[in-house]
A and B are shown apart, each in its own frame.
Chain A
């Protein structure tokens, strides 16, 4: 790009080149800048850096503390959840045990009453059998007397002579 008038022609301070090299304004700039630098530096050191740095540190510490708190609370909650789960499991086991116990007790009771009934039944049967046996024995005893009577009567009819009870007994005993 061509420029028609690159260099200014009517520039008073440009006679010696750049205005920056004009020594007239150096002492003022040096003195003022040094003073300003010193003031800003002292303010930085005593106020701004401690405050801003302190704030950043405090924030970091707070975030770290909050995270630690959250971690601790989470661990607590986890522990509580675990405890609750354990409690539930225990309660369930207890309930199962209780149910099993009840079932076993009921079974035992049933079997006990069953055996009692059976025993009673057996006793009744026994008694019945005993009475039957007694009745039969009695009947059998009667049969012997009847047989002796009949035998005496038969002997008397056939022989015309009554046999003695001793003879009949002997005959019955020999027959039996």
Chain B
């Protein structure tokens, strides 16, 4: 019977045919995780390069690229931040495209072991990656907040028109909820991708395991084929669900980044 190892897909291995890179005692070699990130970046650059042709009547690639851009510009940044949100579109669009591409690669590119590499790998199911993205987002908000408002940035934690004792009390909790943001950003994406892929992997293992039981003999063993078929249907359904989750989590991450940016960009402007 095949062993069910739902966590094996998250294992990181150094890419053997590339030289190891060690800087200051840290192993920065290209791993399968890094390779997937690089592929995602190439996919983004190539597809956006194809969709940035500037035709008035767009082709297919251009229509896709412009739809994604409009999702960020027309649905998130401009409605949330307003017209002074234009400078933040590249940042939010970068977050969205990277997360979306890496999420989708985890579902679409899950072809198993081909060419000496396990392609069933999702970089956004790696806490190191989601944490890095969360910290980048958090630090950007912090830096932009101080550049835009100076020390007025701290007004973010104090609601206006409140007694000083109350403000101190509320400010304490506001500060905690602010500081916990990178953690929630990182855990939300990580947890969603991890959970979905684990469940998919388990059901996919059932297809093989129960199928083996069904083929092993007759009688009660035949029930294994039924279970195998049901698990296969489940895997197909979960694949669809994971595609939705991939897009949704990318959008959620971008939306939260936009909301956080809005707080510091429009600080004290009627919000």
Contact = CB atoms under 8 A, between A and B. Distances in A.
B129 A33 contact: yes
Contact of B7 (A18, A30, A32, A48): A18
B209 A49 contact: no
Contacts of A19: 7, 10-12
Interface stretch (A52-60, A107-115, A138-146): A52-60
Given A18-B10, A52-B69, A3 B4 contact: yes
Contacts, number: 160
Classify the interface of chain B: helix, strand, loop or mixed. helix
A49 to B, nearest CB: 5
Q: How large, as a class, is the contact surface on chain A?
A: 35 or more
Classify the interface of chain A: helix, strand, loop or mixed. helix
A36 B227 CA distance: 43
Contacts of B8: 8, 11
B242 interface: no
Contact of B94 (A29, A41, A47, A54): A41
B239 interface: no
Interface stretch (A20-28, A95-103, A160-168): A20-28
Interface stretch (B22-30, B110-118, B173-181, B260-268): B22-30
B127 A33 contact: no
9 contacts: A10-B3, A27-B27, A28-B30, A29-B12, A29-B31, A29-B132, A48-B52, A48-B93, A56-B69
Interface of A: 1, 3-11, 13-14, 18-22, 24-34, 36-37, 39-41, 43-45, 47-49, 51-56, 58-59, 62
Interface of B: 1, 3-8, 10-12, 21, 23, 26-31, 33-34, 37-38, 40-41, 44-45, 48-49, 51-56, 58, 62, 65-66, 69-70, 73, 89-91, 93-94, 97-98, 123, 125-129, 131-133, 136, 190, 194, 202, 206, 209, 227
Given A33-B37, A52-B48, A52-B69, 14 more contacts: A5-B1, A11-B7, A18-B10, A19-B10, A28-B30, A29-B12, A30-B132, A32-B28, A32-B30, A43-B45, A47-B52, A48-B52, A52-B52, A55-B54
